[in-house]
A = this chain, B = another copy of it.
Amino acid sequence: MTSTFLDAVNRKNKNHIPVLFMRQAGRYLPEYMKLKDVHSFRTRTHTPELMTEITLQPMRRYKMDAAIMFSDILTCLEYMGAAFDFTGEGPKLATAGVSTLKEIHKLDVKDMSFVYEGIKKITAELTDRPLVGFVGAPFTLCSYIIEGGTSKEFLKTKNFMYSSPKDFHKAMEILAESVGNYLAEQMRTGVEAVQVFDSWVGFLNEDDYRTYLLPHMKNLVSLARKGGKPIILYSQPASHLLPALKEVGADVYSIDWRMKLADAAKVLGDNVAIQGNLDPAVTTLEWSEARPFVDRVLEDAKKAGIRDRYIFNVGHGVNPTTKPETVGSIVEYVHSK
């Protein structure tokens, strides 16, 4: 498969700038909402046919340069002793807290076979563009297990990390090994790249990241490497963490909308690709209003000198108020540049 997305990942893209959107398969699409009305969140993520259909919905509608498998960053937790469900606005764990975290066990990657079935079905149908797999990173998974859902300040998680470093490291070991092996298995089954979502790690400072997470993130990457496909790392806000994140050794860094692309490129160096940078709020605008902000990102990419290794994306997932028409216009416009 020739792929502009993979060429950019491999820092040798001479074609158009590839585009994908985090959460491109999701609640802003009417065709997704129809399925959401009929099938529960668990059914949607656990049924290979539904996973396939939902993953392909934005691929039919738009010329996205890669598909992102429909799943959740937390889906594996159920098979490690920390089941969750979506109730209303976000994920909620049935039992949460430090005691739940202390009882999690390593993931048997075979338990995720429904995901691999989905990957096989998607790649059988989608032959012209690559599929990207993903999972949540250890700190982010841990924060959900302890807080029970999203959190404003992650006080319980940090309290545990600071007060029980030995137990925290033990949990991180289990999570990093599980996630690393799961990503390698996704790769073996057919995804062409994976993204590790450390959505909440930006609530730590650099010293803490190095002390509590960096060794585990390196271990995660070395295990995922056995699958032989490139690894994308996402964090936000991450301006202050970038030098430490660089040491994780990912192939692509997915940055939020706060950092300037040139600043990120300066810290990360020439040997990685860079993804992201559009404020997701821009996708809630009409195209005529959105265009100057898309131009700004493209201009910044040009200034940063990363044309051959840049993937256009939002700096955080698109959301229910994202306008489908604006997404379409952004894809076409970026491709035309």
CB distance from A86 to the nearest CB of B (A): 15
Please tell me if A285 contacts chain B, counting CB pairs below 8 Å. yes
Identical copies of this chain, number: 2
Please tell me if A280 contacts chain B, counting CB pairs below 8 Å. yes
Q: Which residues of B have CB within 8 Å of A158?
A: 279, 281, 284
**A137 to B39 alpha-carbon distance, docked (Å):** 44
Q: B150 near A152 (CB under 8 angstroms)?
A: yes
Q: Which residues of B have CB within 8 Å of A293?
A: 162
Tell me the A153-175 residues at the B interface (CB within 8 Å).
Answer: 153-155, 158-159, 162-163
Q: Which of A66-74, A220-228, A252-260 contacts B (4 or more CB under 8 A)?
A: A252-260
**A205 to B150 alpha-carbon distance, docked (Å):** 23
Q: B154 near A206 (CB under 8 angstroms)?
A: no
**A319 to B159 alpha-carbon distance, docked (Å):** 13
What total of chain A residues lie within 8 Å of the partner, measured CB to CB? 37
Q: Which residues of B have CB within 8 Å of A325?
A: none
Tell me the A284-325 residues at the B interface (CB within 8 Å).
Answer: 284-286, 289-290, 293, 296, 316, 319, 321
Q: Which residues of B have CB within 8 Å of A258?
A: 202-206, 237, 240
Q: Which residues of B have CB within 8 Å of A289?
A: 162-163
**A284 to B153 alpha-carbon distance, docked (Å):** 12
Q: A162 near B205 (CB under 8 angstroms)?
A: no
Sample of 15 more A-B contacts, CB < 8 Å, known A162-B290, A203-B258: A153-B316, A153-B319, A159-B281, A159-B321, A162-B282, A162-B285, A162-B289, A162-B293, A202-B258, A205-B258, A205-B259, A205-B279, A237-B237, A239-B240, A240-B259
Q: List 29 A-B contacts (CB under 8 A).
A: A153-B280, A154-B281, A155-B280, A155-B281, A155-B284, A155-B319, A155-B321, A158-B279, A158-B281, A158-B284, A159-B321, A162-B282, A162-B290, A163-B285, A163-B286, A203-B258, A205-B258, A205-B260, A205-B279, A206-B258, A206-B260, A237-B237, A237-B239, A237-B240, A239-B239, A239-B240, A240-B258, A240-B259, A240-B260
Q: Which 5 A-B pairs have the closest CB atoms?
A: A158-B281, A239-B240, A240-B258, A239-B239, A237-B237
